[in-house]
Structure 1
Amino acid sequence: MALFIKDPAVDALAQELATLKRTTKTEAVHQALRNEIDREKGQRDLVALSLDFAHRLRERAGPNPRPAEAALRDHLLGNR
């Protein structure tokens, strides 16, 4: 199925990208869509990775975790 760009502003953006990449509008739109899909998938992976990291930290802390001492917090934040 074909994609027809009816919005002049979107068409202008596609043309600008094509000009910068020295390619056709079709290829520029194709690359832009592929890059955006890959970026979105990567963000989801980062969220899952971050949640897994936080879960493992909670497990290591045990059932009665102690709060970080002021000296450790200052060191981690670069305060001296």
Structure 2
Amino acid sequence: MGYSTEATMPLYVKDPTVDALADELMALRGSTKTEAVRQALRNEIARVKGETDLVERTLAFTRRLHARARAGQPADKAFIDSLYERD
């Protein structure tokens, strides 16, 4: 789901802590409050999407690892001994 660059309704923040955070980010960035909030929201969206990608990459890695593993085979004496053999 994307977002529209056209404002359909202004964003009013009534929380003084959020307002103070926006002011602090604005000062640190040397930008307007609107630009500070815009960048903070974009960064958070990118971070959250990145977490999803990380989960998907981890699942794919786990699937590949499982496919390469000796899944379903018993860890018998021969298998354990093979772990200590030197080439």
| Structure 1 length-normalised TM | 0.77
Q: Deviations over 1:10-57 (max 9, x none)?
A: 101000000000001100000000000000000100010001100111
| Cα pair distance change 1:66/1:38, threshold 3 Å | farther
Structural RMSD (CA)? 2.0
Deviation beyond 2 Å, 4+ runs, structure 1: 62-69
For structure 1, the residue ranges without an aligned partner over 5 or more in a row are: 73-80
User: Paired residue for 2:69?
Assistant: 61
State the number of aligned residues.
Answer: 70
| Structure 2 length-normalised TM | 0.72
User: Paired residue for 1:10?
Assistant: 18
Higher helix share: 1
Residue 26 of structure 1, aligned match among 34, 51, 59: 34
Task: Indicate the structure (1 or 2) with the bigger Cα radius of gyration.
Answer: 2
For structure 2, the residue ranges without an aligned partner over 5 or more in a row are: 1-8
Percent identical residues: 57
